[in-house]
Structure 1
């Protein structure tokens, strides 16, 4: 994939910039036990989605008000669980490289702003632009978050690279018209072993310009 035309990088948060997988799983497992849901069923679809979307799929009989209460409970279980939350391998080096290149970047997450700020803070990451589930009408896999981030950075979506570790997020990036880079063995325009690979790719493209 030619990265020379990339004008901005749009990152997912959990599992992409921030290693919070263990905290996410603990919260869903506890929530599942409270709501009599099989934990494995919750974990199989929760990653990358807004909590309310996951809950609607797990408990389709709940009305809107009950879904809101259940989603609020799920998020509450995550707010203070930061003991092992850290930056993913290569994340801080990549962000330093973007700063050196003068390339804008944003975080687009299915978390709410309180959780996003808590996890990013724990990982030592301060995004130039943060788009949370509270900023859009529809969360991933809808493209709203990535389109908003591109607009805020004033970069056309087609010149943005979306970096994701969940298929639902890659779907959102594709729907936004962005190029995609996929972690964890998923398929994107670019497949990444880790973020260090992207650091080298962007540095090399900048040198070649």
Structure 2
């Protein structure tokens, strides 16, 4: 890392992105989905939304569903609802520009959404899907487990400590830190895990350029 006045420069072999809240703003859909779940079962939607971000749907359902509810069936219902509902989904500011600057083999998507949902939301936001996607379908343990980020680094052929992760949610930030990657907070997450981490308001602030030997140089304000 090199301090450039008000900007920081980071040299990396790859960039790993969370999806919801980092590349894609799906807030309105997420709120609609969990509100329907809460209404069906007489639950407090605010409590659900407080912990659902960054976690796999089935894990959130399991945490809140009343006794007797088929967790897997309920999760499948919610996921199908989300895949079909893309109204209001937009790209996070700067995401399209940043992804266009990255070589295809130098970045990956690591999301708590399943593959079909990830593809639907990236398409709705007008963003490309990279060759390497690690979704909820590809891991045995979701975020905050580092499994997804470790898997993405392995598939890209880079050591985790040579990757930079952009994340916006507590569960994802815990996962990114645990995998050993340099971690950058996108947005306003104020959980204890953000202590000491770099932060950007959105992706408009991030610049990237290739370096000799195939690496990347990222800069952003700190």
Same fold (TM over 0.5): yes
Aligned residues: 202
Structure 1: which 5+ residue stretches go unaligned?
Answer: none
Between the aligned partners of 1:71 and 1:164, the Cα distance in structure 2 is 24
Shift of 1:144: 0.7
Give 1:206's aligned residue. Answer: 217
Structure 1 or 2: larger helix share? Answer: 1
Give 2:84's aligned residue. Answer: 80
Shift of 1:87: 1.2
Shift of 1:56: 2.0
Give 2:29's aligned residue. Answer: 23
Give 1:120's aligned residue. Answer: 122
Structure 2: which 5+ residue stretches go unaligned?
Answer: 3-8, 211-215
Conserved? CA contact 1:181–1:192, under 8 Å: yes
SS in 2 for 1:206: strand
Between the aligned partners of 1:103 and 1:193, the Cα distance in structure 2 is 26
Taking structure 2 as the reference length, the TM-score comes to 0.84
Matches within 5 A, 1:1-209: 2=2, 3-59=9-65, 61=67, 66-99=70-103, 104-126=106-128, 127-186=130-189, 187=194, 189-199=197-207, 202-203=208-209, 206=217
Shift of 1:71: 1.1
Alignment RMSD, CA only?
2.2
Shift of 1:61: 3.8
Conserved? CA contact 2:41–2:66, under 8 Å: no
Residue by residue, what CA displacement relative to the aligned partner does 1:177-205 show, whole Å, maximum 9, x if unpaired?
Answer: 11101022232631111112122xx3498
